[in-house]
Amino acid sequence: MTTQWFDSAKWIFVAQPGEAHDRYYDYKAAFTVKNEAKTVMYISAHSNYALWINGVFVDCGQLPDYESRQFYDTLDITKFVKSGENNLEITQYVAGRAFSTGRPAIPAVIFAVEAEGERVLSSDESILSGCNFRYASLKEDISGQCGYNCAYDANGPETIFTPSVAVDKPKNLIARTIEKVKLGDMLIPTLQNQGLFTDSDPKAMKSHRMMYSALRYVPR
């Protein structure tokens, strides 16, 4: 069953995505709310997503699904919006390969924002998007369950945005069937252990190095 908020929304994707395999994509848009209206966002993305409103991280974590059973999240973003114009940013990850935690599907995102029952934004071709090359496409397995590893270079090139394209993808959207993980307040890290780090093989894949590297304990 498709929620009414997706009626005017379209599945969209980057116009020139390159090889949509272990790759990240950015989307951005603006919407306006009046006063301090209760604002809700509905979103579904293959394979995963992270959302920011006005530069502040909101939430992430697409529940893995199938084309015949697409899950969407309902996110209360009221505390992140302000009266007037607001900026929305989404980073989408596309695995492009089957793992125990997901399977390939048509890569796209769909979303809608409503404020006090009024639709203020729907995904369509006017949404700007582009490839995020700060994430490296390594195609490096962590495991058959966890999927690919990743690498990020904050000094990499900025995303070049162009209008998105509509994707011919069915709307078989249903609400998430399990509760999302709750995000708590940021914690201040403290030193728990210290020692001498031994890298197993600097030339091996990071997943292998993380599994077999050792930390020899040194009392504080």
Q: What is the mean pLDDT of residues 81-90?
A: 97
**What was the pLDDT predicted at 28?**
98
Tell me the percentage of the chain whose pLDDT exceeds 90.
70
Question: Is residue 131 pLDDT above 70, yes or no?
Answer: yes
Identify the bridge partners of residue 76 per DSSP, sorted by sequence position: 40
Q: What is the mean pLDDT of residues 56-84?
A: 96
Q: What is the mean pLDDT of residues 136-160?
A: 89
Q: What is the mean pLDDT of residues 85-100?
A: 96
**What was the pLDDT predicted at 3?**
72
Confidence of residue 102 (pLDDT cuts 50, 70, 90): confident
Mean pLDDT across the chain: 92
- Pick the more confident residue, 31 or 209: 31
What is the tens place of the pLDDT at every residue in 159-207? Answer: 999 999 999 999 999 999 999 998 888 889 888 778 887 887 888 887 7
Question: Is residue 2 pLDDT above 70, yes or no?
Answer: no
Confidence of residue 1 (pLDDT cuts 50, 70, 90): very low
Taking the model in full, what pTM does it have?
0.90
Q: What is the mean pLDDT of residues 13-42?
A: 96
CA–chain centroid gap for 145, Å, is 19
Question: Is residue 217 pLDDT above 80, yes or no?
Answer: no
Question: Is residue 219 pLDDT above 90, yes or no?
Answer: no
Q: State the greatest distance between any 2 C-alpha atoms of the chain, in Å, as a whole number.
A: 61
